[in-house]
Amino acid sequence: MANKELKVSGMHCESCARLIENNFEDEGIQAIADFDKCKVKISYSDEEERLKILKVIALLRKRGYKINFL
């Protein structure tokens, strides 16, 4: 299992954090968003899931979030 941490600009509230978590979880990716630290921790197990993460990141960027890998 691999873990990555993302820096997310544009999370304005806890609802934003839940929305981000839900977008990852809809793709089967475990995600924990921390609104106070503007970070999201994600876990994945294979290349297929890694590609799903990139898909979710692209979707969230279209919604106005700025996301970078730490």
Q: Which amino acid is at 64?
A: G
Task: Name the CA radius of gyration of the chain, rounded.
Answer: 11
Residue 66: predicted pLDDT: 97
| Neighbour-count burial of 2, counting CB atoms closer than 10 A to its CB (0-12 exposed, 13-18 middle, 19+ buried) | exposed
Residue 25's pLDDT band (boundaries 50, 70, 90)? Answer: very high
Strand partners, 53: none
Residues 31-41: pLDDT tens digits? 999 999 999 99
Task: With beta carbons less than 8 A apart as the criterion, state whether 44 and 56 touch.
Answer: no
Using one digit for the tens of pLDDT, what is the confidence trace for 46-68?
999 999 999 999 999 999 999 99
Domain count across the chain: 1
Strand partners, 36: none
| CA nearest neighbour of 20 among 44, 3, 38 | 38
Residue 59: give the domain boundaries: 2-69
| CATH number reported for the structural domain that contains residue 6 in this entry | 3.30.70.100
